[in-house]
Structure 1
């Protein structure tokens, strides 16, 4: 019997809103919007778009940006219970995120250990914020993902695992194509419908727990 393993997005999935978008709306000049649209339409790669967006921001704003996100970001309802449920069931959880370490790690502190978190990193040593990409694409991926979720799935999951992907955006689409089960919301739902990828929609993590109880835990 295949063992379940979960790969979960962070921004807009674990949190109610996308934190990169929130940072750009609050701190970036207007040209960030065009970059965002180019990423969403897949006109430019995610890595290029996110790098250019953060390059619009001065490193001197680090403290102000961090405080803003930690004050305003909300963890989606049921996530704490979801983490507890997975521990109880012995199901591994990995956070695979296009988000940045300086807000992802503090927001998950006390809920998920750093060893389970794979995200991009920020370098504040130069005048502008520079994004560092420790988890780039392997030779099987050609999308210049930034934090490459398919590569991480190939690295962390065994062939015998039942791979579950939870996400909300374009950054989760290639991972969804590799999953045995997709749990989706927002833009990812639209893309799954468009590409006829079987998926379960969700609004809170209580719904995710119920879905896992019905379809995964009983079969594990």
Structure 2
């Protein structure tokens, strides 16, 4: 494994549940469930679906949403230990998330170190929440991803980079196709099995540490 770099999802991966789905379940704007199903069924793009879901929420809920996210985001066991292991092994860890900055940043700020954090932005200047897309698809991607994980991987990787993807959901599918090694759970695991993408299932980040120890030759 030469020049490994880790690209790790956030919602449903670092956290045990998807924060967008959790927030939408809590505040339940009419029409959000249909949009969620359309994204999962790939009838609408992630960018379109997520943008429309948040546009159903008034900006007056911002502080309440942040408070709810902080109170309810349960971090998957072993995450900080995983980051410390990666640091000891000089493996950069990038968080690449289809989530939104205004709730990701408060949740993740006590963890680290990270080589970088990439996610979607937010604008509260109008009546409803507007999602912004600072990490849109490059010329090689036509999936209208929102936060385009394959594009970020291409930008951050060299030819000899060994790309490790950790994820769980529809936002990780295209990244998994590009990876040299995938840790997968939930929806992503099922799709990796269906599409015969080589992967290792995981439940905690301790699982990821143990697998990486074997690949890096580190003795536990």
Aligning the two structures, in what range does the TM-score lie when normalised by the shorter sequence? over 0.9
Equivalent residues in 2 for 1:45-60 (5 A)?
45-60=45-60
Whether the 8 Å CA contact 1:105–1:114 is kept in 2: the answer is no
Equivalent residues in 2 for 1:171-182 (5 A)?
171-182=171-182
How many residues are treated as equivalent by the alignment? Answer: 218
Q: CA deviation at 1:113?
A: 5.2
CA shift digits 1:95-152 (9 cap, x unpaired): 0000111111111113135761000011111100000000000000010000000000
Match of 2:37 in 1: 37
State the alpha-carbon separation in 1 of the partners of residues 101 and 114 from structure 2. 10
Indicate the SS of the match to 2:217.
Answer: helix
Q: 2:82 matched to 1:82? A: yes
* TM-score, structure 2 as length reference: 0.96
Match of 1:213 in 2: 213
Moved over 2 A (4+): 112-115
Match of 1:140 in 2: 140
Q: 2:76 matched to 1:70? A: no
Q: CA deviation at 1:218?
A: 2.1
Unaligned stretches of 5+ residues in structure 2: none
* TM-score, structure 1 as length reference: 0.96
Unaligned stretches of 5+ residues in structure 1: none
Match of 1:156 in 2: 156
Match of 1:188 in 2: 188
Whether the 8 Å CA contact 1:167–1:185 is kept in 2: the answer is yes
